[in-house]
Amino acid sequence: DGGITQSPKYLFRKEGQNVTLSCEQNLNHDAMYWYRQDPGQGLRLIYYSQIVNDFQKGDIAEGYSVSREKKESFPLTVTSAQKNPTAFYLCASSMLAGGSGEQFFGPGTRLTVL
Amino acid sequence: GNSVTQMEGPVTLSEEAFLTINCTYTATGYPSLFWYVQYPGEGLQLLLKATKADDKGSNKGFEATYRKETTSFHLEKGSVQVSDSAVYFCALHANQAGTALIFGKGTTLSVSS
């Protein structure tokens, strides 16, 4: 089945630690995205990538980093510089051209800082 | 810049009631419009979409019509069920390759039996 997987589903970390969230897709999509979701705030774009080895900051990139070494994978690292990292993180992917912009989402990772 | 505004919730309805969730947008050009649904603890699923003016998207009894003259894409359903309880997001895509979707803040729908 084609789709997007995120792991783990729940993640706990201590303050001051970096943590990496996994996102993998087998849809052969060029573009991938990371969003953060907080209650009542909707989705906010952290980073996105259109092609391998290239990525752009979104609206709230501070305290986060990404890499795109493979087309299928777009991991997100939440660094200790992120002041309030507890949130629900969603990864998405889309065709780069030829589509209507529709994005496909993974099931999300809930990160809690203890 | 481009933006999406949707009605604030929560929206609380009884089963079989009529649902409307308002969504308006600001965009240059001709965006594509979407409604996504998020069930508790899950990711977002595409509910329906429309890619040009006057298009009607529909799925699972939900409908929305792309109205360019009023820059709106209101979500409607004639008879809601308890299983429709979820958060609904309106979104637009500016139809420029590689750009991300722009989302509204989401509207929580709660349906009781």
CB-CB contact of A45 with A89 (8 Å): no
For position A98, what pLDDT does the model report? 65
List, for chain A, all residue ranges whose pLDDT scores fall below the cut of 50.
none
Residues of A in contact with B10 (CB under 8 A): none
For position A77, what pLDDT does the model report? 97
For position A96, what pLDDT does the model report? 77
Average pLDDT over residues B32-61: 95
Written as six digits, the tokens of B75 are 């979500």
**Residue of B8, B46, B102 lying closest to A40 (CA atoms):** B8
* B98 closest CB neighbour out of A31, A41, A110: A31
- Are residues B43 and A48, on separate chains, in Cβ contact within 8 Å? no
In whole numbers, what is the pLDDT of chain B averaged over residues? 94
Given a cut of 90, whether residue B98 has pLDDT beyond it is no
State the nearest Cα–Cα gap between B44 and chain A, in angstroms: 6
Peptide bond into B31 cis (omega under 30): no
Q: How many cross-chain Cβ pairs, A to B, lie less than 8 Å apart? A: 58
Q: E-strand spans in chain B?
A: 3-6, 11-14, 19-21, 23-26, 32-38, 44-50, 56-59, 62-65, 75-77, 86-93, 102-103, 107-112
Q: In angstroms, how far is CA A19 from the centroid of its own chain?
A: 12
For position B62, what pLDDT does the model report? 98
For position B110, what pLDDT does the model report? 97
* Share in percent of chain A as helix, strand, coil (round to 5): 0, 55, 45
Higher pLDDT, residue A87 or B8: A87
CB neighbour list of residue A94: distance below 8 Å, 6 or more residues apart: A29, A31, A33, A101, A102, A103, A104
* A101 closest CB neighbour out of B93, B103, B106: B93
Q: Which of B8, B44, B103 is the best substitution to test chain A (most A C-beta atoms within 10 A)?
A: B44
For position A1, what pLDDT does the model report? 62
Given a cut of 80, whether residue B17 has pLDDT beyond it is yes
